[in-house]
Amino acid sequence: MNPKVRITVVREFASTALIDGDTGLGQVIAYNAMEVAVKKASEVGVSVVGVRNSHHFGIAGYYALQAVRRNMIGLVMTNSEALVAYTHTVGRNVGTNPIAVGFPKKSAANIV
């Protein structure tokens, strides 16, 4: 893991971006990527931002809330290496692949 990460935007269009995390801490990279996504969505209505070369990013719901706090729907997901084995199989063959979705509501608590 790179402790002195230099996050760069590899490719960018009005509603999309690809970010290289320079093999840094996933929490820092994911937060910045979601800020890019929210900014683009506020300008054009929707956005998709991908990240490469990043490590474990922690709780996915935190990043979905970045969109919800701005009255947007947030969808955040990642992949992982094979960490879990199916029942009655030999070896690890399934990633944990977290996903989070957040929806703003006009009354009461938001949904995440």
Catalytic, out of 11, 23, 50, 56: 56
Q: Is 55 a catalytic residue?
A: no
Phi-psi region of 88 (alpha: psi -120 to 50; beta: other; left: phi over 0): left
The count of C-alpha atoms lying within 13 angstroms of the C-alpha of 53, restricted to the half-sphere facing its C-beta, is: 14
Task: Report which secondary-structure segment, H or E, holds 16.
Answer: strand 16-24
Catalytic residues: 56
